[in-house]
Structure 1
Amino acid sequence: MSKKPVIVFEGIEGSGKSHHISNVSKHLDKKKIDYIKIREPGGSINSEKIRKLLLNKNSNFNNNTDLLLMLASRSENINLIKKNFRKKIILIDRFTDSTIAYQHYGMGIDIKLINTINNFLLKKIKIDFTFLNIVNKKNLFLRLKQRKSLNRYDKFDMRFYNKVQKGFLKLAFKKKSYKIINSNLNIKVNENLIIDQINKLIK
């Protein structure tokens, strides 16, 4: 594996992935290791414009439009990723498996279509490792309740989140380079687990 890996943090709302990617960023800053951090949807200037439209709580897109906007956001990030691929560590808050989990397992869109466009966009870019953060119903709703404002993706029902999380787990069980983080456990324990794995990936 490259010492400049592409590392993705996946999980449904309230699973703690954004907290952990932020913690990893601080760890790399302390070590003075070059990296870039992006999020999806979002990341680059144009992707952030798409993010505002996509996550706006007043937006009401059909599932196909939802998918195409997500992929449009990714398309705008590809040059940024290509520019840094194998030159810096790349940390991504949600990526291709999120599209499969949300748009295929959650919304029922044909997985072949999703894979075709993902493969077209990524070409030789490979993900080296994925942290999948999972959360139970109680903690999901508790954490969403604590947020100052909720976006469109924070307002789905539990049935939808269950389908998405089960989709993520199906993906995780198919791949070796996945680590499942039970975010219902102590956050400090999980922080240490993730940092230990990061150190192994970049040493």
Structure 2
Amino acid sequence: MSKKIVIAFEGIEGSGKTFHIDNVSKYLKRKKIPYIKLREPGGNKNSEKIRKLILDKKSIFNKKTDLLLYLAARSENMDNLKKNFRKKIILLDRFNDSTIAYQHFGMGVNLDIIKKINNHILKSFKVDFTFLNIVNINNMQKRLKQRKKLNRYDTFKEKFYKKVQNGFLRISKNKKRYKIINSNLPIELNKKIIIDKIEKLLK
């Protein structure tokens, strides 16, 4: 019987987190282990509407509005997440760490404000383990150039992404529930590292 845990995949653009969460999804499906997968922003009909608004390259929001839109999208997902909490494995493509890394470390929004609103939304829901994917800026840029379509968050300056990635590393420092995945290494190696860890987490 597998543990019903919440696993998040975090990292800046081009870090491989979405690829790896999809690979873990395929693994769980093969093993016939019940799970749900959700991306942020997005995840349901209303959250996907908010996602389009946030990521549209024509959108121009101040940093507080950006934060509130992300948290609004999360709020729309909470009924579904709470309904499946401890009943199915939950895979999250971004979650609270992204909010702190991008909105606080990247954009300078007050951390207490982020935590207070987020705690109000989440209540007892929490992430059990996080795979933090890191990537150097050169590889990030190469991967973004391969994308058919870029969104607003794919087009910030290098300095911003460095601040965000350093923010992720500060969040994860000396915490056991994080596994750092060096996305500059071969993808097959990282696939094995992640699946091996997933197997241990679910026992």
Equivalent position SS for 2:68: helix
Match of 2:126 in 1: 126
Match of 1:78 in 2: 78
Match of 1:100 in 2: 100
The letter of the residue matching 1:92 is L
2-structure distance, mates of 1:139, 1:81 = 33
Equivalent position SS for 1:108: coil
Number of aligned positions between the proteins: 202
1-structure distance, mates of 2:126, 2:23 = 23
1-structure distance, mates of 2:135, 2:173 = 17
Please state how far the C-alpha of 1:45 moved relative to its aligned partner.
1.2
Match of 2:182 in 1: 182
Give identity over the alignment, percent: 67
Using a 3 Å threshold, how does the CA distance of structure 1 residues 28 and 43 change in structure 2: closer, same or farther?
same
Structure 1: 5+ residue runs without aligned partners? Answer: none
Give TM-score, length-normalised by structure 2.
0.98
Partner deviation per Cα, 1:92-146 (whole Å, 9 max, x = no partner): 0000000000000000000000000111111111110000000001100000000
Spell out structure 1 runs of 4+ moving beyond 6 A.
Answer: none
Aligned Cα root-mean-square deviation (Å): 0.8
Structure 2: 5+ residue runs without aligned partners? Answer: none
The letter of the residue matching 1:87 is K
1-structure distance, mates of 2:141, 2:127 = 30
The letter of the residue matching 1:175 is K
